[in-house]
Amino acid sequence: MNERFETTVPEEYHLERVDRFLAHSIEADFSRSYIQKLIRDGNILVNGGPVKQNYKVKAEDRIEIVVPEPVPLELEPQDIPLDILYQDEDIAVINKSPGLTVHPGPGNPDRTMVNALLFHLEGLSSIGGVARPGIVHRLDKDTSGLMVVAKNDRAHQRLVEEFSARRVKKRYMALVTGRPDRDHCVIDRPIARHRVYRHKMTIDESGRDAVTEYRLVKIWNNQMGLFSLLDVALHTGRTHQIRVHLSASGLPIVGDPVYSKKWEKHRVPYLLLASVSLSFIHPGTGEEVSFEVGLPEHMTDFIRKLDSFSSS
């Protein structure tokens, strides 16, 4: 059965190429080349009609994407570099690199973290299905950092229970535009899919509860602009939660193509958000385990640039 996506073009993307807009905007992590193929095959319609790849979208254009029924996946192990911080017979903890899609799907049949896991690890849980062996939770493609992977079904089930009960402790670092009103804040605002711009999530009182807590770490105010580094604790796990809550608070993450209107201004390769700390009850031992990583290179590069302008 074909899968369908619909969205409406926000004003800030007026006159953006349609393939570029969709590559940055839809949650499915489709590659730009796959989107171009969908356009060539007549599977992307704008205002009800086909378009060419170089069509420039207009504000309020209605876009419909029809994804053909996928062929059965045959997952292959692929020798993709993978930063494995820890592993035993039950779990592996991965420091995912930015730009790496977690699991295969339409437009990303391979070269994913799952393909790398199959190459580097022996045994993965099957509960997640054929396309998602070992995958208990996910990070957005451009978000880097810590993920725990289940190596057997027993471990998978116990980890799912921990995530569902909100006992897993997750911390992120986010570099945002602007300065928060307070050094410490708990954002408790429900999130739902945007009613018009279907590729986005938004604050909506009818949505699911979502709680994000942040603490201010550092501020820069120089010729590059006003920026803040935030230490973020995630208390629920909604789609795009940190990105939505911070953007709605006037603190969009630098480089975020969906929730920051000026995302291209700073020329960063990925959004400046990373999962840096992960704590949970080990499914085998019953003991709490904790893992931490430093900031990824694209974030430290931007921070060095901010520091250099501040000291000059």
How many whole angstroms separate alpha carbon 191 and alpha carbon 201?
7
Whether residue 16 contacts residue 35, with contact meaning beta carbons closer than 8 Å, is answered with no
- pTM for the model stands at 0.84
Backbone angles phi, psi at 55, to 5 degrees: -60, 135
What tokens were used for 309? 């302008």
122 and 36 share a domain?
no
203: Cα separation from own chain's centroid:
18
Of 139, 120, 136, 153, the residue nearest 284 (C-alpha) = 153
248 and 212 share a domain?
yes
CATH number at residue 148: 3.30.2350.10
Band (178; pLDDT cuts 50, 70, 90): very high
Q: Which among 39, 67, 95 is the end of a domain?
A: 67
Least-confidence region, from 9-13, 58-62, 289-293: 9-13
135 and 221 share a domain?
no
Active site residues: 140
156 and 200 share a domain?
no
> Would you say residue 312 has pLDDT above 60?
no
258 and 183 share a domain?
yes
Burial bucket for residue 200 (CB in 10 Å: 0-12, 13-18, 19+): buried
207 and 87 share a domain?
no
CATH number at residue 26: 3.10.290.10
137 and 210 share a domain?
no
How many whole angstroms separate alpha carbon 236 and alpha carbon 267?
30
What tokens were used for 53? 């790849």
How many whole angstroms separate alpha carbon 277 and alpha carbon 173?
9
How many whole angstroms separate alpha carbon 237 and alpha carbon 299?
23
143 and 115 share a domain?
yes
Q: What is the pLDDT of residues 123-133, one digit of tens each?
A: 899 877 777 89
Q: Hunting for tokens 């020798």 — which residue is that?
A: 79
Residue 72 lies in a domain: no
- Domain ranges, residue 254: 170-275+298-311
Domain count, the chain: 3
| Bigger pLDDT: 199 vs 154 | 154
Query: Which letter does DSSP use for residue 312 in this model?
Result: -
For residue 214, list its beta bridge partners.
Answer: 185, 232
Of 45, 48, 46, 54, the residue nearest 17 (C-alpha) = 54
> Would you say residue 205 has pLDDT above 90?
yes
> Would you say residue 100 has pLDDT above 60?
yes
Q: What is the pLDDT of residues 220-260, one digit of tens each?
A: 999 999 999 999 999 998 989 999 999 999 999 999 988 98
127 and 251 share a domain?
no
